[in-house]
A and B are shown apart, each in its own frame.
Chain A
Amino acid sequence: MSIETQADLSAEMATIADDYAASVAAGEPVETGPRLDYPPYRSSLLRHPTKSLHHADPEEVELGAPAFGPTDVDPLEADLTIQHGGEPVGERMVVTGRVLDGDGRPVRHQLVEVWQANAAGRYVHKRDQHPAPVDPNFTGVGRCLTDGDGWYRFTTIKPGPYPWRNHRNAWRPAHVHFSLFGTEFTQRLVTQMYFPGDPLFDLDPIYQSIVDPAARDRLVATYDHSVTTHEWATGYRWDIVLTGSHRTVRESDVEHL
C-alpha cells in the first residue's frame, strides 16, 4: 500500500465528523464512546466486529468484579519515579482524580493500572523502534487501589508524543494508558488520558475515533495548581466515570428512559 499522508487521513476524519454532526443535528443520539469501526485507524479495519453488539442482561457473575487489595498492590507502585536508582528525566507530575460509577458513587478500593512512554516518547517495549532514548530510571508502569472515596493518585513523568505507522508523519498525542475495574465486570475500562491543549488532537485517528467532541474532551486532564506541589511536581486532575451499574435500578432512573 502506498503511504498515505496526514492530509489524506485528516480529510477522512473530517468527513466522518461532518456526518456525525449532521446526524446529531437531525436528532440522532449523541455517541459516548469510540467507534469500533473507525477506518482512519488502519489497524482497526480487520479487527472490529461488523455485527452489532448483542444486548444482554448481566448474569450474577457479571454483576460482580474481581477484588483487589493490599495483597495485590504495594503503595509504592503508585510512584513511577522511584523504581530505579535515580531520578527519571522529564517533567515530574502528579495525576490524581476520582473513579465514579454512572450514578456518581465512588468506586472504592478497586485496581487502577497505568502505563506510558517516557519523557522522550519511548516505551520500554521491544516493539517500540522509535529512535528516542530509553530512560534507565523510568519504566512507565504503575498501579494503585482507589481509596475509600474513589481517589487514585500517581506520581510520574509527563510522557512525550511519539510517531507511529498509521500513515506518513503520524504522531500520537502524549497520553497515559489507564486500566480500571468497577464494582461490576460490565464496567471494565481501558482508556487513555491526554493533556490539555495538545496540538496533535485533531490529527490523531485514535483520539478522533470518539466522534463526539464532548465525549473526547472527557479524556483530557485538567492542569490543577492545587495538585501542583512547591518545588517538586506539576499537578493534573482527571476524573473517570465508569458505566452505570445494574444492581440497583431506582424509580427515578426508570421513568425518564
Chain B
Amino acid sequence: MTSAAHPTHPAAPTPGQTVGPFFHYALPYAGDRDLVPPGAPGAIRLHGRVTDGAGTPVPDALLEIWQADPSGAVPRAEGSLHRDGFTFTGFGRASTDRRGVYSFSTLAPGPTRPGAAPFFAVTVFARGQLDRLFTRAYLPAGSPGVDATALDTDRLLASLPAERRATLVATADEQGYVFDVRLQGDDETVFLAFDGRRRSAGRD
C-alpha cells in the first residue's frame, strides 16, 4: 500500500514486505484453521480459492480471518495458537493447498450492533504479493442472523458499484460459506485501505 507520509506524523510506519515462498514451516500451526473443532455445534466451513490475474490458483497464499462471535461480541480471549477446543478466540490462519484452496472451521459472526452486516475480516498474504491485503467476507442476505436490509445499508458495500460489491459477499453452500479471492482481473476482489484518521477529519 502506498500513502502520503505526513510531515508531522510522530513516527513513519515500517513498510511491509512479501511473506515470500518459505513461510510454510513458520506461520502455519496445528489447529490454525479450526477456530472451532470441525463438526462442533454451530460449526460452519468458510472456504474458497485464491486465484491470480490469469485465473490460476495461488498455491502459496496465506489467509487470516478475525471475526465477532455469533452474538456479535468481539473476542478478547487468548489461545489462538494453542486452542483448548472450547474457547472461541475469533482468529484463524490457513494456507492454500496446491489447488489454491483454503478452508476454515468456525462459527458464523453475528452483527456487532443491531442491523449491522456481519463479516469476516480477512487478510491475504502470498509470495509475489508485496504487502498484505485487507478485505471482508460478508455473510450473504438470507443467512441466519443477517438483517434483511443489513447489506444494503452497510457503509462499505453501499460505497461500491454492484459488480464490485459482489466480490465481498460470500455465497452459502451446504457446509457454510464460499469466499473466493481474486488478486487481479476484471472481477478482482475489493481490497481495503484503512485511513480513518483522514476520514475522521471530516472528509467523508
Contacts and interface: CB of A to CB of B under 8 A. Distances in A.
A177 interface: yes
Contact of B66 (A30, A41, A65): A65
B11 A104 contact: yes
Interface in A13-63: 29-36, 38, 41, 43-51, 53-62
B112 A61 contact: yes
B194 A127 contact: no
Interface residues of A, number: 86
Contacts of A45: 53, 128
A136 to B, nearest CB: 15
A65 B89 CA distance: 10
A154 interface: no
B148 interface: no
A191 B14 contact: yes
B193 A102 contact: no
B15 A219 contact: yes
Contacts of A56: 155-156, 192-194
Contacts of B78: 67-72
Interface residues of B, number: 86
Nearest to A28: B4
Interface string B132-161: 111000000000000000000001100110
Interface in B62-79: 64, 66-68, 74-79
Contact of A103 (B10, B25, B131): B10
A45 B52 CA distance: 9
B89 to A, nearest CB: 6
Interface string B172-204: 000000000001110011111111111111100
A241 B89 contact: no
A256 interface: yes
B158 to A, nearest CB: 11
Contacts of B192: 53-56
A237 interface: no
A179 B18 CA distance: 11
17 contacts: A33-B3, A53-B191, A56-B193, A57-B155, A57-B156, A58-B194, A60-B68, A60-B74, A68-B78, A102-B11, A115-B27, A123-B22, A125-B25, A141-B26, A177-B17, A206-B17, A249-B196
Interface of B: 1-6, 8-27, 52-54, 56, 58, 64, 66-68, 74-82, 89-91, 109, 112-113, 116, 119, 121, 123, 125-134, 155-156, 159-160, 183-185, 188-202
Interface of A: 29-36, 38, 41, 43-51, 53-62, 64-73, 100, 102-104, 111, 113-115, 117, 123-125, 127-128, 139-141, 143, 177, 179, 185-186, 188-192, 206-207, 209-210, 214-216, 218-219, 240-244, 246, 249, 253-254, 256-257
